[in-house]
Amino acid sequence: MLNSSSVLEFKSTTFFTPILILNTNDIAAIEQTLQEKISMAPDFFKHSPLVIDVRELNKSELDFNVTEIVETLRRIGLFPIGLRGGTEQQNSQAQKLSIPVDAGRDHDAGALAQHDRRAAVATDAGNENPTAESMNGEDKNPKATATSATADLPVQSVAPVQPVRTMLVTQPVRSGQRIYAPGDLVVMSQVSAGAEIMAEGNIHVYNTLRGRALAGVQGNTSARIFCLDLQAELVSIAGDYKTSEHITKTTQKKPVQIYLQDHALIINEIA
């Protein structure tokens, strides 16, 4: 007879799921905003699993229908895999849709992680996903925009919360390549036109930036981009962006820092 371990195995792994914090119950606005986000980083968002966070909605006593939200998300190609901060009634709605719920007791690895932990038998600390470490700690404040995805909850089972790590890239980032850093991103080489670098935190490019750079991609509005030679196709912080067409001549080919102020991207030469 087969022993149980040859039939199946439980492993605890760490993986990373964006949290979608809803600040409005306006389905049309949610859908439109999400479509915009997706069009900015289609590969990243397409088929992305996510956890729906409705705490803000309930706090503001905004009425909504879980099924409707789930269906909207699925229709635009996202995979909701959890509900956080729902009421009893909302939770039971979610469970009918086979979506696990998190009672929302605490802010970090909550019931969803518990849910996972029950299955954890063998402990395999090795991260399968290089972006899995350090998902905590970015801007947790819901933004004024309709939606914002914040990666403040790792669906993880074993590893204790680690500080956000900086990703260091020393090779050139060539056209067609994409880099995603769960924390800050430091690039020592050039970033070519047609390349895309993204970070949940800040981006530093100690060389020429010709491609697209998106900082604060999970909604961190205080993220910044620094580069030695700005020739970017697009720069974005927390979803607010400028294309090369709108980057003024005075800051082109200059060392700059880029930050967000009242939803406006400010590009300043670093003297």
Partner 1 sequence: MARIIVVTSGKGGVGKTTTSAAIAMGLAKKGHKTAVIDFDVGLRNLDLIMGCERRVVYDFINVINGEASLNQALIRDKNCNQLFILPASQTRDKDALTLEGVGRVLEELAKEFKYIVCDSPAGIEKGANLALYYADDAFVVTNPEVSSVRDSDRMLGILASKSRRAERNEEPVREYLLLTRYDPNRVKSGEMLGLDDVQDILSLQLLGIIPESKSVLTASNAGIPVILDDKSEAGLAYQDVVARYLGEDRPHRFIDDKKGFFRKLFGGRL
Nearer to partner 1 among residue 195 and residue 213 (C-beta):
195
Q: Which is nearer to partner 1, 232 or 265 (CB)?
A: 232
Tell me the sheet residues that pair with 12.
123
In DSSP notation, 140-160 reads -SPPSSSEEEE----B-SSSP
Q: Is 209 in the site for partner 1 (CB under 8 A)?
A: no
> In whole angstroms, what is the distance from residue 213 CA to residue 203 CA?
8
Between 42 and 176, name the residue whose CB sits nearer to partner 1.
176
Q: Is 42 in the site for partner 1 (CB under 8 A)?
A: no
Q: Which of 177, 244, 252, 257 binds partner 1 (CB under 8 A)?
A: 177
- Which range, of 21-29, 43-51, 81-89, 187-195, touches partner 1 by CB under 8 A? 187-195
Which pair of tokens denotes residue 193? 């036109």
Note whether 219 and 238 are within 8 A (CB): yes
Handedness of CA 130, 133, 138, 140 (dihedral sign): positive
Among 81, 158, 186, 193, binds partner 1 (CB under 8 A): 193
- Among 136, 190, 220, 221, contact with partner 1 (rule: CB under 8 A): 190
Q: Do the Cβ atoms of 147 and 20 come closer than 8 Å?
A: yes
Look at the block and give the residue holding tokens 């995805």.
149
Give yes or no for residue 130 binding partner 1 (CB under 8 A). no
Residues 81-120 that bind partner 1 (CB under 8 A): none
Where helices occur in the chain by DSSP H, the ranges are: 4-7, 27-40, 42-45, 55-59, 66-75, 88-96, 111-117
Is 137 a residue that touches partner 1 (CB under 8 A)? Answer: no
Site size for partner 1 (CB under 8 A): 15
- Of the listed pieces 95-103, 192-200, 213-221, 258-266, which binds partner 1 according to CB under 8 A? 192-200
Q: Which residues bind partner 1 (CB under 8 A)?
A: 171-177, 189-190, 192-195, 208, 210
